[in-house]
Every structure is written in structure tokens, then in C-alpha cells.
């Protein structure tokens, strides 16, 4: 993480924290596409430039690997995560530090801003799975393993795995390293969601091989432009989830 926190970043982050317009983003930042960015007019967009140093321009994931896309995720999900970092139910030094003194109102404003960005998803990448691993991943996503209490991922994350309002995240195209990291963090207790933590239960029921196969499969899918989270539905979820009641 230290390598990703160049000194110049500090100024941008301080401006973000003060709610003031951010400084121009440091030229040495990892997102090579930034130079092509249109001039940013809106004050919120300017303040949120501090986030793009890691999350990519306008909140898209970069190709640098571990950073999750945040653009277009459900507002309720984003708010929950920002609060989880603030209250250290989720652990990442930069995110914990950034959120430390933020009010609920500001976190809601940030969540609404990123949820409202409708940006194209990256093109599909090969997953490199064997035929057996691919079948294992698709079975988990679409059917689950009922005998082991593992519901289909689509039951909560939406039929297209693009999320479901108000607080279920989409999972397709996220970096495989990030997805494996999150499933592992739930298993070791480093990531927690509001109780009952249904996703923690499910993560603990997956074997390491299953987690790796499903993560690589999810990261290799793509979504047509304009695909967003599904509407909220009264359809019951297979487990109770405190973060998405
Ligand atoms: C120094 C790099 C860095 C900066 C700057 C940064 N983030 Fe993050 N962010 C991360 C990393 C790394 C993760 C994943 C952490 C983990 O493994 O749980 C993350 C996770 C997140 C998540 C959770 C995503 C998900 O799908 O669960 C949200 C939301 C988020 N960041 C929002 C922001 C916002 C808003 C800002 C600007 C105010 C910001 N981040 C600035 C590195 C950064
Ligand atoms: C019972 C509902 C439910 C099912 C079934 C479910 N999830 Fe989840 N999942 C959630 C909830 C709720 C969250 C958000 C938790 C939070 O707020 O931190 C989540 C979050 C996640 C995340 C973190 C995403 C991010 O951006 O950080 C991953 C990865 C994940 N789920 C993978 C899976 C996989 C793989 C399956 C299928 C094996 C699955 N989930 C099935 C409820 C579910």
C-alpha cells in the first residue's frame, strides 16, 4: 500500500477531507487514462478526484489489480462500505484513514455520487480456468451447493450478477485478486458486515478452491453498457442479511 501513497497524494486527500475542491491530481498517479479526462466542472467530482488516484478515473477500476470499481454500485452498498471502513468493520489502512472523520451525511453524498456514475465496464478477459473449474464456478453462481448451505450467488446478487437495490453489489468484472481477498477477509474475520452477516456465513462455507474458481470466473465476465443493479424485490433471500434487509 505504501507504494500507492505518493507524497503528492496527501494534498489531494486533505482537500477531500476538508470538503474543499481537490488539487489537480498528481501526474505520477497510476491511472494512465487520466490525461484524457475531460475538464471536471462539478464540485463533487472535483473533490472526489482524490479517490481516482486508486480507484481509477471517475471511480472505474484500473488495470492495476486490487482496486475495486465503485462507479454504478448501489448507493446503499457504497454507503455501508464507507461506514464499515469508518467503523473498522472492514480493514484497509488508506480507506480507514480517509473515512475516519466523515459524517453520515457526507458518506451518503459520496455514495450517491458514485452510484450515479454510469460508465462502461471493461472488456472481458480470459479466466484461464480448466473446464472442470469453470463448471464448478458456474454451478456456484447459478445453483449453489444446497447440501452445504451455499445458495446460488444470483439469489442475492441479481440474475445478471449486476447487483440488486438497495444494497447488493454487482460482482462481475471486479479484479480476481480483489474478490479472492474479500472472501478470504470474511473467513479470517477481517471483513464484517452488519449482523446477521450472511456473506460471512457463505464465505466460510466455500473451500479455497471454490473461492478461487468463482473469483476468476466473475472477473472474466463482461456486461453490456448501461447494465445496472436490479430493482429491489420482495423475493425473499435465502439467508437473512443485516446489510441488505
Ligand atoms: C490509497 C488508495 C485509495 C484511495 C485514495 C481511496 N481508496 Fe477506496 N479502496 C482502496 C482499496 C485498496 C480498497 C479495497 C480494500 C479492501 O481490500 O477491502 C478500497 C475500497 C473502497 C470501497 C469498497 C468497494 C467495494 O466494492 O466494496 C469503496 C466504496 C471505496 N473504496 C470508496 C473510496 C472513496 C469514495 C474514496 C475517496 C474519498 C476512496 N475510496 C479513496 C484504496 C483507495
Ligand atoms: C444471502 C444473500 C447472498 C448470497 C446468496 C451471496 N451473497 Fe455475496 N454478498 C451479500 C451481501 C449482503 C454483500 C454485501 C455485504 C456488505 O455490505 O459488506 C455481499 C458481498 C459480496 C462480495 C463483496 C463485493 C465487493 O465489492 O467487495 C463478494 C466478493 C461476494 N458477495 C461474493 C459472493 C459469491 C461468490 C456468492 C455465491 C457463492 C455470493 N456472494 C452469494 C449477500 C449474498
CB of 203 closer than 6 angstroms to any ligand 2 atom:
no
Q: Which three cell numbers stand for residue 50?
A: 482524490
More confident of the two residues 97 and 25: 97
Looking from the CA of residue 110, the nearest atom of ligand 1 is 35
Residues 129-165, buried b or exposed e (16+ Cβ, 10 A)? beeebbebbebbbeebeeeeebbbbbbbbbebbbbbb
Q: Return the pLDDT at 136.
A: 98
Cβ proximity of 125 and 208 under 8 Å: no
Q: Which three cell numbers stand for residue 188?
A: 479470517
Q: Which three cell numbers stand for residue 14?
A: 486533505
- Which has the closest alpha carbon to 60: 123, 154, 128? 123
Q: Whole-angstrom Cα distance, residue 51 to residue 45?
A: 10
Burial class, 104, CB count within 10 angstroms (exposed 0-12 / middle 13-18 / buried 19+): exposed
Cβ proximity of 82 and 111 under 8 Å: yes
**Ligand 1: residue whose CA is nearest its atom 16:** 92
- Which has the closest alpha carbon to 168: 108, 115, 121, 96? 115
Q: Which three cell numbers stand for residue 215?
A: 473469483
Q: Return the pLDDT at 7.
A: 41
Taken in order 217, 122, 9, 99, the sign of the CA dihedral is: negative
Out of 106-115, 185-194, 230-239, pick the least confident: 230-239
pTM for this one? 0.86
Task: Please enumerate, as own/partner, the contacts of 176-183 that have beta carbons within 8 Å and a separation of 24 or more.
Answer: 176/127, 176/215, 176/216, 176/218, 176/219, 176/220, 177/65, 177/66, 178/65, 178/66, 178/67, 178/68, 179/214, 179/215, 179/218, 179/219, 180/211, 180/212, 180/215, 181/66, 183/211, 183/215
Q: How far, in Å, is the centroid of ligand 2 from the Cα of 82?
A: 16
More confident of the two residues 115 and 42: 115
pLDDT (tens digit per residue) in 164-199: 999 999 999 888 999 999 999 999 999 999 999 999
- 227: pLDDT strictly greater than 90: no
Q: How far, in Å, is the centroid of ligand 1 from the Cα of 159?
A: 26
**Ligand 2: residue whose CA is nearest its atom 16:** 193
- 3: pLDDT strictly greater than 90: no
Q: Return the pLDDT at 223.
A: 83
Measured from the alpha carbon of residue 185, the closest ligand is 1
Q: Whole-angstrom Cα distance, residue 157 to residue 170?
A: 6
Amino acid at each position: 500500500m505504501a507504494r500507492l501513497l505518493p507524497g503528492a497524494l496527501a494534498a489531494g486527500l486533505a482537500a477531500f477531507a476538508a470538503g474543499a475542491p481537490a488539487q489537480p491530481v498528481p501526474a505520477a498517479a497510476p491511472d494512465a487514462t487520466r490525461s484524457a479526462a475531460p475538464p471536471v466542472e462539478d464540485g463533487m467530482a472535483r473533490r472526489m478526484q482524490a479517490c481516482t488516484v486508486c480507484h481509477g478515473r471517475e471511480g472505474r477500476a484500473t488495470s492495476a489489480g486490487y482496486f475495486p470499481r465503485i462507479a454504478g454500485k448501489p448507493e446503499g452498498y457504497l454507503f455501508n462500505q464507507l461506514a464499515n471502513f469508518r467503523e473498522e468493520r472492514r480493514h484497509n489502512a488508506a480507506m480507514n484513514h480517509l473515512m475516519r472523520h466523515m459524517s453520515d451525511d457526507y458518506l451518503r453524498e459520496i455514495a450517491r455520487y458514485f452510484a450515479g456514475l454510469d460508465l462502461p465496464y471493461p472488456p472481458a478477459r480470459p479466466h484461464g480456468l480448466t473446464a472442470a473449474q469453470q463448471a464448478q464456478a458456474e454451478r456456484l453462481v447459478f445453483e449453489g451447493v444446497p447440501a452445504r448451505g451455499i445458495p446460488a450467488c444470483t439469489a442475492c446478487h441479481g440474475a445478471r450478477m449486476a447487483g440488486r437495490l438497495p444494497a447488493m453489489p454487482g460482482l462481475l468484472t471486479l479484479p480476481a485478486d480483489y474478490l479472492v481477498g474479500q472472501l478470504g477477509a470474511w473467513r479470517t474475520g477481517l471483513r464484517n458486515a452488519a449482523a446477521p452477516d450472511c456473506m460471512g456465513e457463505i464465505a466460510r462455507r466455500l473451500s479455497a478452491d471454490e473461492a478461487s474458481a468463482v473469483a476468476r470466473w466473475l472477473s472474466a465476465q463482461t456486461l453490456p453498457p448501461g447494465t445496472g443493479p436490479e430493482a429491489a424485490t420482495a423475493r425473499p433471500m435465502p439467508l437473512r442479511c443485516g446489510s441488505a434487509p
